[in-house]
């Protein structure tokens, strides 16, 4: 029995037909009028949802102090299309389950009666029940996007207007839940790439960037996904309690991007920051040592080193890049105590801050004795490694079960790195041995290779080195260079 009275899924949408199920009238969305199957979907909506479609629906519900709705919607679809495009529906509609058996029996009855599905009322075709949880989407009104998901699979256009970033996010998550990612990706990849993601330097912008990565991971799997991950690694972090798992569970999946992407992005960002921090750490140690860094050989060279060390400390302290801590232990319960926190700003901004280091001179004779001369080439090289080629971005590889993955910096595969680049020194050990723990990045070797036109587009060895030597004044033996060149051959 089909009627016309119902509650609209979206405010201002026209009334939908309804179908009486268990003495209740449920809205019926006819994806295909000749469909041979009814999907009876119950959308369970938790009260911790943080998003809604349309956007203002959540605000209105909170203003009315109303409980978030958990609607039950019926969708008329073609079972053959679902089974063809989704392994989930292929199994559900197969002979292993009662739903599939009932569908096959009813289809056979219609064929014997020579009745087309379009001539059968919705109340008389098979119906299967699905419970859709909001564990990943945390979105009120996702039933609209589920309808669009089915429309796209059936070759139709989405009905939701405008189709926002939140809509794409929910669509990607639902496509993943129901194993429809390949089908949706093939139909929507261009639309996803052309979609405008408004990324601003605040928490809302970080959320959009996270959603962008999630969307592109599922629906694009190409250079745009890689570029988005590089953007996230370099961007500032505004999220609260990033490491608190209980806090993340109350948010959408994009705040803890699945499939290892979240941990990989965090790890690569830490690797880049460690590499940048190693520059100032080494030169502070050099200028604090007894080895004279001033190469002029004057009697005033020790004074030049002391002067440069003091200016370095002043500059880095003023930029909040180093902190001088008293030997006196602090009490943990001291309310005025401020524990140091990891840098959460933009990496490009950090590099620009370091590039502002002035050319300090003890007097007019001591030129090019300070930090700036040594700092800028190292920073330029790091920035080139981040932005050139693959850089620090995540790139897809094809894994088992046709699910795209990426090569992780946390567990590099020995088969993909048979030898070490020329700039990795293993203390004159066999350089063809991968996975050596004592690897050290030596910038002097890099500069010598760059001068000869030898380049390497893979920066993983730079950012995952155990230690770094940014001093370019050391002499490189011909024997060492010969061994390095042998590796490149």
Q: Residue 179 — very low, low, confident or very high, per pLDDT cuts 50/70/90?
A: very high
Q: Does the pLDDT value for residue 261 go beyond 90?
A: yes
Does an H or E element contain 405, and which?
strand 404-406
Written as one string, the DSSP assignment of 116-142 is -GGGS-GGGS-EEEEEE--TTT-EETH
- 46 and 125 together in one domain: yes
201 is a domain residue: no
| Per-residue pLDDT at 3 | 47
End position of a domain, from candidates 196, 226, 256 = 196
pLDDT, one tens digit per residue, over 35-49 is 989 999 999 998 888
Cα 70 from Cα 143, distance rounded (Å): 10
Q: Residue 13 — very low, low, confident or very high, per pLDDT cuts 50/70/90?
A: low
pLDDT, one tens digit per residue, over 49-79 is 888 888 888 888 888 888 888 999 999 999 9
- 83 and 178 together in one domain: yes
**250 SS3 class:** coil
- 365 and 455 together in one domain: no
| Per-residue pLDDT at 11 | 47
- 53 and 190 together in one domain: yes
68 is a domain residue: yes
- 380 and 444 together in one domain: no
End position of a domain, from candidates 196, 211, 236 = 196
- Mean pLDDT, the chain, rounded, equals 81
| Per-residue pLDDT at 113 | 81
256 is a domain residue: no
Q: Does the pLDDT value for residue 17 go beyond 90?
A: no
Contact 161, 13 (CB under 8 A): no
214 is a domain residue: no
**457 SS3 class:** coil
| Per-residue pLDDT at 79 | 92
- pLDDT, mean of residues 472-489: 44
260 is a domain residue: no
Pick the more confident residue, 33 or 300: 33
Cα 177 from Cα 347, distance rounded (Å): 35
- 375 and 429 together in one domain: no
Range of the domain at 447: 412-488
233 is a domain residue: no
- 136 and 39 together in one domain: yes
- 278 and 359 together in one domain: yes
73 is a domain residue: yes
| Per-residue pLDDT at 118 | 78
| Per-residue pLDDT at 86 | 95
Cis peptide leading into 162, omega within 30 of 0?
A: yes
Residue pointed to by tokens 């990849």: 189
208 is a domain residue: no
- List the helix and strand counts (H, then E) for the chain: 17, 13
The values of phi and psi at residue 424, to 5°, are -100, 115
| Per-residue pLDDT at 336 | 65
Pick the more confident residue, 113 or 469: 469
| Per-residue pLDDT at 438 | 56
Pick the more confident residue, 437 or 260: 260
- 366 and 425 together in one domain: no
- 471 and 350 together in one domain: no
End position of a domain, from candidates 196, 226, 255 = 196
- 11 and 156 together in one domain: yes
Structural domain count, the chain: 3
Please report, for residues 52, 92, 265, 438, the alpha-carbon distance to residue 241 in angstroms, rounded to integers and kept in the order given: 23, 40, 16, 34
Q: List the one residue out of 120, 130, 164 whose CA is nearest residue 150.
A: 130
- 178 and 272 together in one domain: no
């Amino acid at each position: 029995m089909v009627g016309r009275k119902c509650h609209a899924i979206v405010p201002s949408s026209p009334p939908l037909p309804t179908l009486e199920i268990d003495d209740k009238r449920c809205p019926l969305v006819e994806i295909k009028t000749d469909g041979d199957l009814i999907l009876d979907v119950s959308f369970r909506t938790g009260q911790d949802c943080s998003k809604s479609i349309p956007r203002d629906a959540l605000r209105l519900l909170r203003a009315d102090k109303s409980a978030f709705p958990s609607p039950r919607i019926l969708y008329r679809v073609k079972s053959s299309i679902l089974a063809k495009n989704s392994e989930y529906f292929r199994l559900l509609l197969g002979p292993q389950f009662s739903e599939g058996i009932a569908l096959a029996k009813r289809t056979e009855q219609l064929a014997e009666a020579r009745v087309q599905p379009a001539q059968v009322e919705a109340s008389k075709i098979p119906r299967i029940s699905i419970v859709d949880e909001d564990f990943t989407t945390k979105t009120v009104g996702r039933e609209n996007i589920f309808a669009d998901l089915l429309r796209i699979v059936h070759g139709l256009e989405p009905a939701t207007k405008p189709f926002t970033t939140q809509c794409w996010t929910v669509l990607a998550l639902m496509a993943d839940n129901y194993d429809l990612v390949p089908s949706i990706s093939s139909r929507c990849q261009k639309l996803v790439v052309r979609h405008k993601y408004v990324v601003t330097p605040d928490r809302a912008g970080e959320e959009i960037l996270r959603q962008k990565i999630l969307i592109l991971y599922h629906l694009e799997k190409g250079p745009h996904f890689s570029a988005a991950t590089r953007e996230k690694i370099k961007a500032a972090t505004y999220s609260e309690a990033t490491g608190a798992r209980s806090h993340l569970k109350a948010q959408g999946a994009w705040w803890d991007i699945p499939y290892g992407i979240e941990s990989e992005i965090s790890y690569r960002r830490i690797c880049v920051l460690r590499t940048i921090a190693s520059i100032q750490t080494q030169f502070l140690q050099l200028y604090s040592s007894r080895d004279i860094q001033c190469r002029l050989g004057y009697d005033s060279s020790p004074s030049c080193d002391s002067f440069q060390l003091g200016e370095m400390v002043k500059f880095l302290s003023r930029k909040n890049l180093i902190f001088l801590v008293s030997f006196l232990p602090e009490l943990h319960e001291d309310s005025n105590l401020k524990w140091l926190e990891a840098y959460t700003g933009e990496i490009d901004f950090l590099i620009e801050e370091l590039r502002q280091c002035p050319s300090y001179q003890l007097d007019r004779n001591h030129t090019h004795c300070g930090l700036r001369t040594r700092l800028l080439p190292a920073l330029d090289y790091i920035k080139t490694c981040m932005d050139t080629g693959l850089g620090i971005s995540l790139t897809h590889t094809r894994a088992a079960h046709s699910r795209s993955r990426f090569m992780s910096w946390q567990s590099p595969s020995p088969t993909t790195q048979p030898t070490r680049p020329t700039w990795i020194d293993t203390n004159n050990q066999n350089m063809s041995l991968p996975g050596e723990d004592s690897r050290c990045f030596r910038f002097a070797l890099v500069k010598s290779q760059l001068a000869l036109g030898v380049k390497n587009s893979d920066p993983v060895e730079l950012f995952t080195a155990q230690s770094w030597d940014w001093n370019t004044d050391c002499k490189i033996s011909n024997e060492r260079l010969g061994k390095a060149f042998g590796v490149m051959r």
